Structure 1
Amino acid sequence: MRSGGPGAGSGSASSARAGGRRVSTEISGGGPGYDETAKMFAEAAPAPALDDLPRAAGQVTAAVAMGDALTSRLTAAGIGFRPAAVRRSAALPPL
């Protein structure tokens, strides 16, 4: 199977059919280097064994695979999440 290459994700037409909504999120906590990365790995590792996770199949992102369970674990570890912007538009201009 061949992909369209970098930047060849869903276009504005399919985004418009999906509701045309784009959300960006601010993540807070310590520095984005070693410490926070270590927290993310440490909290993500036990989630598949200990948490009730969403059913997902195939190659998926951590957010799809672990959903709210991962967000809850990271928040408890001191990493915060806050919606920064929500845009609705058929054209979906860059954020």
Structure 2
Amino acid sequence: MEGVFDLERVATFVAGYQSVMSLESAHLADTARRLWWKRMTDFWQLEFHYDRNDDSCDELYIADEALLHWWTERLDVVERTFAGSAQVPNSP
């Protein structure tokens, strides 16, 4: 599905990672928030298109926009999932 994280897969990955390395949930949630903010303010596809006259990445702009829309609507759930402290809801 385009424009979504597979939160069940994220939760499984985080649980597996935390089983071999101690990672604080607060740090993981902060990392997810910082990544969200970076994606919100990064328009590299537009820079490629307009500054470099390179349209090879144009289709990624729509996919990234869809992901950001989905992610923003579920910001708390996504952060809790990345932190390893959320019940993963059913697919959207």
| TM-score, with length taken from structure 2 | 0.24
Higher strand share: 1
